[in-house]
């Protein structure tokens, strides 16, 4: 199924699968889907390339997938306030935003301590419980709290909670405050 572990565990797992394929007398295409830090890219690619070059085989292929949304990648063509983005190892694209909201090229989402709590076994357990009344009952305590009819400034709590996030997204995209935020600030009493 896969491996969850340290950098060394992930590299060893990929190397073992690749060595098994290289020992077999038939062509093979291996695919690995990784949910890890961007810093792992270079070491994984170098390890795989080294094993493939050493074997001399051209009929074994390795595809390494780092699943990210298109808005959550950094390319070598991007620039930030600090100038052009320099990606590690001469790569053209890496997962993770160039900057913003605490994320960086050095980690992205996988560097988040909450994301590190996730495991394949835990995800599998949750998936197995969904759809079964008894299973879903065990998940009930994790259900997000319902805010019901609570209001903030005439808006639902959920709607009011989205306002600062939308202002932040506008600022990140446009490098300027949104007209709605400026209107809100300048129209308040005592501004």
Structure tokens at 183: 């209107």
Q: From CA 112, how far away is CA 72, in angstroms rounded?
A: 14
- Collapsed DSSP state (helix, strand, coil) of residue 60: strand
How far are the Cα atoms of 100, 143, 154, 159, 185 from residue 150, in angstroms, in the given order?
A: 31, 18, 9, 11, 24
- Please state the separation of Cα 7 from the chain's center in Å: 16
Residue reference for tokens 């565990």: 9
* pTM summary value: 0.42
Q: From CA 150, how far away is CA 142, in angstroms rounded?
A: 21
What DSSP string runs through 117-179? G--HHHHHHHHHHTT-HHHHHHHGGGSPPP-TT-EETTEEHHHHHHHHHHHHHHHHHHSS--H
37 with 108: CB under 8 angstroms? yes
| Average pLDDT of every residue of the chain | 78
pLDDT in tens, 53-89: 999 999 999 988 766 555 556 666 776 666 776 666 6
Query: Percentages helix, strand, coil for the chain, rounded to the nearest 5?
Result: 50, 15, 35
Q: What pLDDT, on the 0 to 100 scale, is given for residue 16?
A: 94
90/62: higher pLDDT: 62
DSSP state of 189: T
pLDDT in tens, 106-144: 455 555 666 667 778 888 889 999 999 999 999 988 887
């Amino acid at each position: 199924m896969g491996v969850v572990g340290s950098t060394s565990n992930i590299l060893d797992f990929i190397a073992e699968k690749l060595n098994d394929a290289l020992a077999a007398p038939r062509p093979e295409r291996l695919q690995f889907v990784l949910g890890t830090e961007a810093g792992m890219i270079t070491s994984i690619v170098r390890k795989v390339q080294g094993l493939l070059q050493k074997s001399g085989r051209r009929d074994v292929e390795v595809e390494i997938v780092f699943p990210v949304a298109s808005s959550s990648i950094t390319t070598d063509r991007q620039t930030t306030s600090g100038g052009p983005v320099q990606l590690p190892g001469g790569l053209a694209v890496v997962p993770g935003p160039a900057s913003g909201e605490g994320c960086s090229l050095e980690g992205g989402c996988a560097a988040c301590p909450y994301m590190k709590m996730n495991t394949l076994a835990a995800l599998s357990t949750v998936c197995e419980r969904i759809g079964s009344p008894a299973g879903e009952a065990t998940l009930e305590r994790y259900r997000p709290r319902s805010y019901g009819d609570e209001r903030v400034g005439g808006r639902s709590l959920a709607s009011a909670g989205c306002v600062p996030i939308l202002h932040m997204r506008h600022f990140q995209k446009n490098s300027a405050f949104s007209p709605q935020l400026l209107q809100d600030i300048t129209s308040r009493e005592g501004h």
